Amino acid sequence: MMCLAKLPALPDAAGTYRWFYADVTAGPYSAVCIFMLGSLFSPRYSVAARRGGRPLEHSAVNFALYHAGVRRLWVLSEYARAELDAPGRLRIGRSTLSYEGDGTVRMAVDDGTAPWGRPVRASLTLEPMTPVGEVVQLMPGLPHYWQALAPRSQARLEVSSLGIEARGLGYHDTNHGGELLGARLSGWHWARTHREDETVVDYHLPEGVAPLRVVAGARGVRCERGPALVEARPTHITGWGLRVPSRLHAGNVVVGQPKLLESSPFYARLEARQGPLDSLGEVADFRRFHSPFIRWMAHFRTRMGRAA
């Protein structure tokens, strides 16, 4: 089985970005961790990139812990640098992302909650059960790419600051791009669903572009671009005015009505569980994020960290 043994290339030019995303479902707990270079949540990078600011100068660590659909912890800390401090290991502040020789992925968070800085020490450890997926261009003609690195994994979640240790299933991917999100790619929504024997990821894109689907299981990982949806699926408007799905789907299978884990004017995170099905999804409207008012609001969900 082919696993990732080193970090993909890091971004350098102004306006570019890359992030590494992972989530774990373990009993009543769900956790999401993202290491971001050219942070998509950074109001500072939204402005600085247009003036030549580099992505590594706007790196960030995001960690969120949920219990039974309710947020317990939120970390979003931005740093003025990121570095490779060992082969296959990325450091942002005191937190690290590492790829080990056996394919194991480890995200270790040592940071503080936003905005008050309450100490958080947590880790996600993923042991891939499938190979790495291919790199996929999200929109024809636009420089935005997605790759499932460990789409189905055995996972361990530890939050030592709360005394939590749990095991379950994990998912890990990376996105990267050659321009700011929102410059031409207006947004997307996607959902990851763990089934009993496979994991399915559906990526829905704007402007009538056919959705992408990754299926990972015992037969490996396959990626395909399916036909556009014939019928519009029901949606509703959040309190922030963002349109989100009323149901989460795995293909044509309805998982259920989702709980809204995170809600903001430009971004939402949703979760639905039904029997053996577990879905976690995100909705993003990047053009909204670049409005000065929403950039101002984003400062209150982020703290500026200091390097170790």
The helix or strand, by DSSP H or E, that contains position 17, with its residue range, turns out to be strand 17-26
Cα distance between residue 55 and residue 49, in whole Å: 8
Indicate if the pLDDT at residue 116 is higher than 90.
Answer: no
Label each residue of 160-216 as H, E or C: CCCCEEEEEEEEEEEEEECCCCCCCCCEEEEEEEECCCEEEEEEECCCCCCCEEEEE
The helix or strand, by DSSP H or E, that contains position 35, with its residue range, turns out to be strand 29-37
Nearest to 214, CA basis, from 198, 236, 196, 228: 198
pLDDT digits (tens, 9 = 90+) for 196-251: 999 999 999 998 899 999 999 999 999 999 876 556 788 999 998 999 999 998 87
| DSSP reduced 3-state for 295 | helix
* 303-304 and 70-79 beta bridge pairing: parallel
Cis omega (within 30 of 0) on the bond before 140?
no
Q: Calculate the CA 190 to chain-centre distance.
A: 10
User: Letter for the amino acid at 89?
Assistant: R
| DSSP reduced 3-state for 257 | coil
pLDDT digits (tens, 9 = 90+) for 2-46: 556 578 889 999 999 999 999 999 999 999 999 999 988 777 777
> How many Cα atoms occupy the beta-carbon half-sphere of 214 within 13 Å?
29
| DSSP reduced 3-state for 52 | coil
DSSP string, 61-103: EEEEEEETTEEEEEEEEEES--EEEETTEEEETTEEEEE-TTS
User: Letter for the amino acid at 47?
Assistant: V
Label each residue of 259-289 as H, E or C: EEEEECCCEEEEEEEECCEEEEEEEEEHHHH
Cα distance between residue 21 and residue 124, in whole Å: 11
DSSP 8-state assignment for residue 51: G
At residue 151 the predicted structure's pLDDT band, cuts being 50, 70 and 90, is: very high
Contact (Cβ atoms closer than 8 angstroms) between residue 60 and residue 95:
no
At residue 145 the predicted structure's pLDDT band, cuts being 50, 70 and 90, is: very high
Query: What tokens appear for 16 in the block?
Result: 């570019």
Name residues whose C-beta falls within 8 Å of residue 8's C-beta, 6 or more positions apart in sequence.
18, 147, 174, 176
pLDDT digits (tens, 9 = 90+) for 56-75: 999 999 999 999 999 999 99
* pTM across the whole model: 0.94
User: Letter for the amino acid at 151?
Assistant: P
Percent of the chain past pLDDT 70, that is, above it, reads: 91
Indicate if the pLDDT at residue 127 is higher than 70.
Answer: yes
From residue 25, how far is each of 39, 50, 108, 118, 263 by CA, in Å?
24, 38, 17, 24, 20
pLDDT at res. 111: 97
Residues in the chain: 308
Nearest to 290, CA basis, from 55, 45, 14, 76: 45
